[in-house]
Chain A
Amino acid sequence: MIRQFYIFVKKEFIHILRDPKSLLIIIAMPIAQIIIFGFALTNEIKNANFGILVTQPDNTTRTLTERLDASAYFDLALVTDNMEDAEKAFLKDEIKMLVVFEPGFEQALLHTNEAAVNLITDATDPNTATTLRYYASIIIKDYQQELRDAGSLPYSIETNIRMLYNPQLVGAYNFVPGVMGMILLLISAMMTSISIVREKELNTMEVLLASPLQPFLLILSKAVPYVILSLINLTTILVISTTLLDLPIRGSLLLIFAESFLFITTAISLGLMISNITDKQQTALFISLMGLLLPTLILSGFMFPIENMPKAMQILSNAVPTKWFFIIIKNIMIKGLGWASVWKQSLVLVGMTTVFLTVSIVKFKPRLA
């Protein structure tokens, strides 16, 4: 039986390796997706052009301007003393935000403890506008805090906004665990289902069925190569995330791999279920894409917050395995939490896997029809 298993796995690897196009897709897809989601699709803003309107420059306005310019989010593109110039710059799209210092800014700050800065943003893109305003106010507050610490200002109540775990609102923090879940699910479920259905479509299943090969051995042999490929993909994703996207791995790497292995098993058992209900590779592909990709994108919580969804959708989202994996990976990787924080979600995945596997083995047809 071990010989049967070995030769079957070997055959599966030959199928994969002799089809360089598919192999390229399997290996390159995660890289492309991570880069697309990590860089192109992020909701963070870098190097936005801004201008300042100041009639009486002084030390404080200069320092604040330098602070803004020095941050990764802003580049100084305009210094002016009148509104007309500023408006022209807005219309030509040369600046996204204008910082207006009131005349006598430093004097007002030192003597009345109150000085006004107006942040004017181009709100044709409200998301960018909000984000820029938020970044700028943080930088200004930081400076204010420094002044206060230096003892030059009396005690005052300060609202302290802090974004936990992701103070810079780095998009990749959310996208990487999401993309990880999506890719592992797609590769494992889709490839497993297609590789079984291909045996049906090319008639080789007929010979396999008429042989003494045990169905569970067939299923297991189909799963092994894709577990290995998925683990390679996982490694690629983690390497790209840490090097290119500066993502931290705060928790245990071993735990990440263990949880990913569990999730891959869930995905493969889903693929086995799909292969039971269809005889055509195209159908298997379609079911995998429509039945797995869409719910993952919409309901796993990495693109749209689940809390904002209607109650029915929230309940439905519990059936999406990626949702649980997403929480697990975020907890371990970004928050640096351990097993204690993810055992419930892990248990959900174990439960799902058991159900999928049982259904696919019980429903496996030992005959053609």
Chain B
Amino acid sequence: MSAISIQQIVKTFPGKHSVVALDHVDLLVESGELFGIIGPDGAGKTTLFRIIATLLLADEGTATLRGMDVVRDYKKIRKVIGYMPGKFSLYQDLTVEENIQFFATLFLTSLEENYDLIKDIYVQLEPFKDRKAGKLSGGMKQKLALCCALIHRPDVLLLDEPTTGVDPVSRKEFWEMLGRLKTSGMTIVVSTPYMDEAVLCDRIALMQTGKILQTDTPQGIIDSYALQLLAIGGDHLYDTLQLLRHFEGTANCFAFGDKLHLSLKDNSYSAASVTAYLEKNGRTDTTVEPIQPGIEDCFMAYL
């Protein structure tokens, strides 16, 4: 049985400039998966999470979690999910320990009861257990929030952008924890705007302006990238970028760090034809080499 099943969900926020946050979204998350929802800010990730967490009602479509309807069976669902909202949502004037105890009791359990599950995280928090949650660093806050969302051993864990605003080391640690949690059989749905985190998931859904663009394993998404991709280096990259966007064989071209990624329309173009085009336009110091696409390239191909 799939853990989460979403069919044709539509959610519009009315107003002067009404926004379609979710536009006929379909999604299937299997049991025991670490599922990533990848997309930039404003893609509709948070709205989708809130609908799954029974906190928002969709305008159209149906969604079920473990076969329970998010509208009708919302009380049952709330017993089995662990939800960590995108915005920090613990009590800042309570200490680390008080927060954990509060949420444990709220779910009618205790720290001791499920200690094995959160041990990894808790040992990192323990030195600060008497510190108020509001005084923790960004990374520690997120670990505490994860701890509180996990304390009742939820069946499905929903994490909305848990690593946003967190330093790279803490991000890495956070994902290692998720990897370990997965081995306990928990279904984990996590959203992130960071493309490099996508490969750490079992399957991912690429999301943009309320639509799911593609759902597959990270490798599957990379494999489905049909275009030739070239990395272009050299000086004056901005001028080169402008130049390449006028090249007739360019499908799209974006700056990626200190390189440009250029995808070609079809196989009648190649690295050689690009080099020729650049040299013809006076760029002799550039390097052009074919590369394997990453998730970000796949995402950019949709733009």
Contact = CB atoms under 8 A, between A and B. Distances in A.
A4 B89 contact: no
A202 to B, nearest CB: 7
Contacts of A203: 85, 87-89
B105 A4 contact: yes
Contact of A207 (B90, B94, B108): B90
Contacts of A208: 106
Interface stretch (A28-36, A49-57, A210-218, A309-317): A210-218
A207 B78 contact: no
Given A19-B93, A368-B50, A210 B87 contact: no
Contact of A367 (B54, B85, B98, B107): B54
Contacts of A369: 56-57
Contacts of B75: 212
Contacts, number: 77
Nearest to A210: B83
Interface residues of A, number: 25
Contacts of B148: 207
A209 B85 CA distance: 11
B3 interface: no
B101 A7 contact: yes
A3 B105 contact: yes
Q: Determine the interface band of chain B, counting residues with CB < 8 A from chain A.
A: 20 to 34
Contact of B92 (A202, A213, A367, A368): A202
Contact of B89 (A6, A19, A204, A213): A204
- Among A203, A211, A366, chain B packs the most CB atoms within 10 A around the CB of A211
Given A18-B93, A212-B78, A367-B55, A206 B85 contact: yes
A19 B57 CA distance: 36
Contact of A368 (B55, B98, B149): B55
Contact of B93 (A7, A15, A209, A367): A15
Interface of A: 3-4, 6-8, 11, 14-15, 18-19, 202-204, 206-213, 366-369
Given A3-B105, A203-B89, 9 more contacts: A3-B108, A7-B105, A11-B102, A202-B92, A203-B88, A206-B83, A211-B103, A367-B56, A369-B57
Interface of B: 50, 53-57, 74-75, 78-79, 81, 83, 85, 87-94, 98, 101-103, 105-108, 148-149
20 contacts: A4-B105, A7-B102, A7-B105, A14-B93, A15-B91, A202-B91, A203-B87, A204-B89, A204-B90, A204-B91, A207-B103, A207-B148, A209-B78, A210-B55, A210-B81, A211-B106, A367-B57, A367-B74, A368-B50, A368-B55
